[in-house]
Amino acid sequence: MSSRPKGKEVEPRDLAALIKICPGGVRPNVEMRTLTTMKVGGRADAILEPASPEQIKDAIGYCEDKGIPWTVMGRGSNLIVRDGGIRGVVMKIGPRMSNLSYRVQKGKVEIIAWAGLPLKRLLREAVRNGWGGMDFLAGIPGTVGGAVVMNAGGRDQAMGTMVKEVAWLDGEGRLERKGASDLGFQYRSSGIPHGVVLVEVRLEAPIIPRQDVVKAIRERMEKRLKTQPLGCPSSGCIFKNPPGESAGRLIEEAGLKGLRVGKAIVSHKHANFIINEGDARASHVLDLMALVRQKVAQRTGIWLEPEVKVVGEDG
């Protein structure tokens, strides 16, 4: 997720103009808790769900011209929005931006995916067509674009290993394409600049027997279901693993499973997950994160770095 500097709020005439740019994709005064997997966050002035790169370009141009701040999000699975919400326009790159095409050549598949393509759909296509090496994405509730930006994955593989090329729109609406070698993927990070909108990703994967794809995805999903609280409102792993360490293990060894602030609680199943027990506020989650970091640092001298992105205004 990325954002532009603060500016004026969205006015009725701005909404009318944005509706012309993005018909059927503009909603005012949306509670961000309805758009994030942690289920917290105040209101956004306006949500804009573009259906094409051209709509994104025109929306960026309008917001920049009028001084309206704009923020980009995917599925909201790695996002904490503060209780005061988000001023300006939130561009949600989701189902309306989920085109997928592919071609097979010499035992490999080249996949062209728009950034809003859900990872679940990518995995369904992998199962249907025998695309290998994607099982590490099983159980990650995000989009292709979000997964690339944060280089999502597990201990053994991450999204950057599949990426061949990306395309984004910058703050002036210019389309840029970059190869994977230009991005410098690292643990939970990519070289995709702040303040751009990722629109397209080119991936490559091997073609393998379909039953092997099914087996690998099933095994990965079964493991995650046993070790992670996937059915609960959360943002996935809340902290990055320090070099050579496990954030979950450090939190567990500090005796912090079950630690709570308000309705936010450190999961008993996986210590690197914070769960919303029903009506937690973003402040509960953020205060609990701060408390966990402090207690782990007091015990180990290691300050855990958040894996989630925190945006918006205090309530």
CB 73 within 8 Å of CB 142:
no
207: exposed, middle or buried (C-beta count within 10 Å: 0-12, 13-18, 19+)? middle
Per-residue tokens: 292: 């966990």
Catalytic entry in 188, 210, 224, 260:
188
Angle separating helix axes 12-21 and 53-66, nearest 10 degrees: 160
Tokens representing 126 are 């992998």
Residue in 49, 165, 200, 307 annotated catalytic: 307
CB neighbour list of residue 102: distance below 8 Å, 6 or more residues apart: 109, 110, 111, 112, 125, 129
**Dist CA 195 CA 3 (whole Å):** 5
Contact 312, 86 (CB under 8 A): yes
Enumerate residues 6+ apart whose C-beta is below 8 A from 32.
Answer: 40, 41, 42, 43, 44, 76, 81, 85, 86, 90, 312
Q: Single out the catalytic residue among 22, 49, 75, 237.
A: 237
Instruction: In whole angstroms, give the CA distance from residue 248 to residue 224.
Output: 14
* Non-local CB neighbours of 10 within 8 Å, separated by 6+ positions: 18, 28, 45, 46, 68, 88, 89
Is residue 237 flagged as an active site residue? yes
Is 188 annotated in the active site?
yes
Least Cα distance to 28 among 49, 44, 6, 14 occurs for 44
Which among 145, 170, 161 is positioned nearest to 57, based on CA atoms? 170
- How much is the CA Rg of the chain, to the nearest whole Å? 20
- Name the residues annotated as catalytic: 188, 237, 307
